[in-house]
Copies of this chain bind each other. A is one copy, B any other.
Amino acid sequence: MIKAGIIGATGYAGGELVRLLLAHREVQIKWYGSRSYIDQKYADIYRNMFELVEDVCRDDNIAQLAKEADVIFTATPQGFCASALTQEILAQTKVIDLSADYRIQNVDVYEQWYGIRHGSPQLVPEAVYGLCEINREQIKETRLLANPGCYPTCSILSVYPALKEGLIEASGIIIDAKSGTSGAGRGAKTDNLFCEVNENIKAYGVTSHRHTPEIEEQLSLAAGQPVVLNFTPHLVPMNRGILITAYANLKKEVSYEEVKAVYDRYYGGEKFVRVLEKGVCPQTKWVEGSNYVDVGFAVDTRTGRLIMMGAMDNLVKGAAGQAVQNMNLMFGLPESMGLEWAPVFP
């Protein structure tokens, strides 16, 4: 039985982690960390857990937690994990960080986009970027896992095969992304009130969203050359779900079937990535509550572009579900354990 601790258990990603780990038969949650709610019953904060979780919230003493847990999940604001993590902690426990602190190998880029100094740059090199479908083998070996961001997960998985196989040009990529509101977190901000979000859609973070360098770094690895792209997120009046629509220039004429063959080759053996059939566009509702990413695309012969689309649940494959998938790999468990739920519809 794996003993797990969560720091940041009362954010939306943390809450989802609790939901998933409760259903995981090899895991026991030992620590519900929440600085805002110390000593309050966890189920008083998330009443869906009434009678299911009896624990009270604890602090974020990661050093103490490291002594008690086999794995620590940090679903914390940027900077926390980088400041708190040490070699001593990593010597005692595995860490799966759901924040951005260890996702970007280039620390300068991290510091520039996030506007903070990195608290432990010396640990960055050993961190593994936890996109299971791409880095599976390294994930199995690491003790410090950088769980990918929600937008990057969906963006990278949608674009990766076409870019890696050289079907599309590395320059000129545009990713237009749409997210449900749980991605904005549970902080009490006017902008996230029901009446401000409902019946509304807007772009935000245009040209400056922090997930941009994360996507660029990973796609640069795939392309074997630097990728600079446009990433524009939008806020959609729904709780869960991310849809990305990516545009790239085809290097040469290809048929739909040729592209499909490439995607099938990459993802045919992947449980959690589903390559949709011709003419079918992904919808976030079809993956809600599950760890699946649905990927589809269209070839536009008029413009010489490939349009790639991906849909997933931002709290599952985009956060807590992927974290569990990574944990499974890190502990030698079947990769899909605790994640074998069909999407909830409607």
Residue from A52, A204, A283 whose CB has the most chain B CB atoms within 10 Å:
A283
A63 at the interface (CB under 8 A from B): no
User: CA–CA, A52 to B336, complex, Å?
Assistant: 14
Residues of B within 8 Å of A188, CB to CB, are: 188-190, 193
A34 at the interface (CB under 8 A from B): no
User: CA–CA, A285 to B239, complex, Å?
Assistant: 11
Taking the closest CB of chain B, its distance from the CB of A170, in whole angstroms, is 13
A86 at the interface (CB under 8 A from B): no
Contact B15 A345 (CB under 8 A): yes
Contact B199 A234 (CB under 8 A): no
Residue from A234, A285, A289 whose CB has the most chain B CB atoms within 10 Å:
A285
Contact A302 B245 (CB under 8 A): no
A88 at the interface (CB under 8 A from B): no
Contact A193 B192 (CB under 8 A): yes
* With A195-B239, A230-B305: A207-B344 Cβ-Cβ less than 8 Å: no
A221-242 interface (Cβ within 8 A of B): 228-230, 232, 234, 236-241
* With A19-B342, A229-B303, A303-B228: A194-B201 Cβ-Cβ less than 8 Å: no
A133-174 interface (Cβ within 8 A of B): 172, 174
A47 at the interface (CB under 8 A from B): yes
Residues of B within 8 Å of A229, CB to CB, are: 303
A118 at the interface (CB under 8 A from B): no
Contact A283 B49 (CB under 8 A): no
Taking the closest CB of chain B, its distance from the CB of A248, in whole angstroms, is 10
User: CA–CA, A286 to B51, complex, Å?
Assistant: 12
Contact B12 A204 (CB under 8 A): no
Residues of B within 8 Å of A19, CB to CB, are: 342, 344-345
A206 at the interface (CB under 8 A from B): yes
A176 at the interface (CB under 8 A from B): yes
A294 at the interface (CB under 8 A from B): yes
Mark interface residues in A300-320 (1 if CB within 8 Å of B CB, else 0): 101101010101000000000
* With A47-B283, A286-B48: A236-B239 Cβ-Cβ less than 8 Å: no
Q: Which residues of A contact B (CB under 8 A)?
A: 12, 15, 18-19, 22-23, 46-52, 172, 174, 176, 178, 180-182, 186, 188-190, 192-204, 206-207, 228-230, 232, 234, 236-241, 243, 245, 247, 274, 276, 280-290, 294, 298-300, 302-303, 305, 307, 309, 311, 340-346
Q: Can you list 27 A-B pairs with a CB-CB distance of less than 8 A?
A: A12-B195, A48-B290, A48-B344, A50-B294, A174-B247, A181-B193, A181-B194, A186-B195, A188-B188, A192-B193, A192-B194, A193-B194, A194-B237, A195-B239, A198-B346, A199-B240, A199-B241, A199-B346, A201-B238, A202-B243, A202-B282, A206-B298, A207-B302, A234-B245, A236-B236, A237-B238, A289-B289
Q: Nearest 3 CB-CB pairs, A to B?
A: A200-B285, A48-B343, A195-B346
